[in-house]
Amino acid sequence: MKNLLLILGLLLSCAACKKEDDATPGGVSIRVRNTSPFAFESVLVNTSDGENSYGQLAAGQSTDYKSFASAYRYAYVRVLVNGQEVVWQPIDYVGEQKLADGKYTYVLGIEDLANRRISLVLEKE
């Protein structure tokens, strides 16, 4: 009986350690993945219908999901790398459709830091 209680206690403590994200079920949730060779000091995403800061992001890593009221396949993204600001700036969203509810990833790459060029690709989860 003691062993059963010990196992049950371990299982419950492991379940309590599960990291929760800010994603709202039934809405648009977006995370960021860094595919560049550089560590991001900060990441900010603005979908024109909401803004979230994702904080630091190591090369090759992904953030937790954050909720947005709505989003498109691209957004305003500002990344700070080695003290330099690198920005993906949409001109407008004319002709674009809002994303359906679900989880998405904005995959960010920076191959040319000197010219501050950033790529953004959308992945649906």
Assess if residue 64 is contained within a domain: yes
pLDDT digits (tens, 9 = 90+) for 16-66: 444 445 555 678 999 999 999 999 999 999 999 999 999 999 999 999 999
Q: What's the farthest any 2 CA atoms get from each other in the chain? A: 66
Q: Give me the CATH number covering residue 60.
A: 2.60.40.2890
Assess if residue 97 is contained within a domain: yes
The tokens of 121 are what? 């690709």
What is the value of pTM for the model shown? 0.79
Assess if residue 35 is contained within a domain: yes
Q: Sheet holding 28-34: strands in order across?
A: 66-68, 28-34, 102-112, 117-124
Assess if residue 31 is contained within a domain: yes
Q: What are phi and psi of 49, to 5 degrees?
A: -135, 30
Assess if residue 5 is contained within a domain: no
What's the structural domain count of the chain? 1
Containing structural domain, residue 46: 20-124
Assess if residue 94 is contained within a domain: yes
